[in-house]
Amino acid sequence: MLVYALTDTGNVRENNEDSYYISNDDSLKLFIVADGMGGCNGGEVASKYAIESVVNYFLTHYKKCNKDNESIKKFIVDSITYANEMVFDKSFSNFNLTGMGTTLTLLLIENSNYFIGHIGDSRAYLIRENNLKQITEDHSYVEELVKMGKITQEEARIHPQKNIITRALGIDEEIKVDMFTGEVHKNDIYFLCTDGLTNMLMDEQILKEFAESEKIDEACNNLIKLAKLNGGYDNITIVAVKEV
């Protein structure tokens, strides 16, 4: 398995409110991206604290978890729910953190399957046999408009309210987590990213970079550069995982 992660503040923002995690333990193939939001430094705190909470939950409880697929899916939901409780409680500990929240997209490889837990508008993609598929669904206002047929995907990309998200971690006491799972194939590339990338690039550009790059780190670096050339209005974070 090859893994590469990269984050960039972008061209406009002073702080980087994105966070990521990649496991260095072969027995726990866990990868996460998060995009925080909130006043002062709330977004930065929310994304980091959410990931720390999920990782601590895994390190404390995962070895004792049954490793059948249904138990793993429940465990992932429980870990993200726990992180939501931690971030929600922390937002009341400091006036400057009130209302902070974060997206969170998690990838776990286990039993020759991938498991993805998701809330917000960061994304998880699968690149297989030179095809790119968006696995997650954006929890955003414009995505709701697209689903209702009121605007097209092209219109959604430039919609003035495209940054309004409808689900996030840490905002409410209770959350709904999306779960996705499927079989892992040789040479699969799993690609997690924040919307600082996807707001600047089309899916076709993402696929092109991975198709034309010899290594995933080269593709990731090129994608960051392209996103910044196209404006780089937000923080940009990428985690790429290739099964070899």
Q: By C-alpha distance, which of 32, 164, 15 is closest to 101?
A: 164
Task: Flag the least confident range among 40-54, 60-74, 139-153, 203-217.
Answer: 139-153
Q: How far is CA 150 from CA 160, 218, 234, in A?
A: 15, 38, 26
Q: What pLDDT was estimated at residue 40?
A: 66
Instruction: Name, in order, each residue with C-beta under 8 angstroms of 55's C-beta and a sequence gap of 6 or more.
Output: 21, 30, 32
DSSP assignment of 45-68 equals HHHHHHHHHHHHHHHHHGGGS--S
Q: What burial class does residue 213 get, using C-beta atoms within 10 Å of its C-beta: 0-12 exposed, 13-18 middle, 19+ buried? A: middle
Q: Map out the domains of the chain with their CATH numbers.
A: 2-242 (3.60.40.10)
Q: To the nearest whole percent, how much of the chain has pLDDT over 90? A: 83
What pTM, to 2 d.p., does this model score? 0.95
Beta sheet of 131-134, edge-to-edge order: 2-8, 236-242, 189-193, 123-128, 131-134
Q: What pLDDT was estimated at residue 33?
A: 98
pLDDT digits (tens, 9 = 90+) for 212-226: 999 999 999 999 999
Q: Which residue has the tokens 């929600």?
A: 88
pLDDT digits (tens, 9 = 90+) for 118-160: 999 999 999 999 999 999 999 988 878 877 887 877 777 777 7
Q: What pLDDT was estimated at residue 240?
A: 98
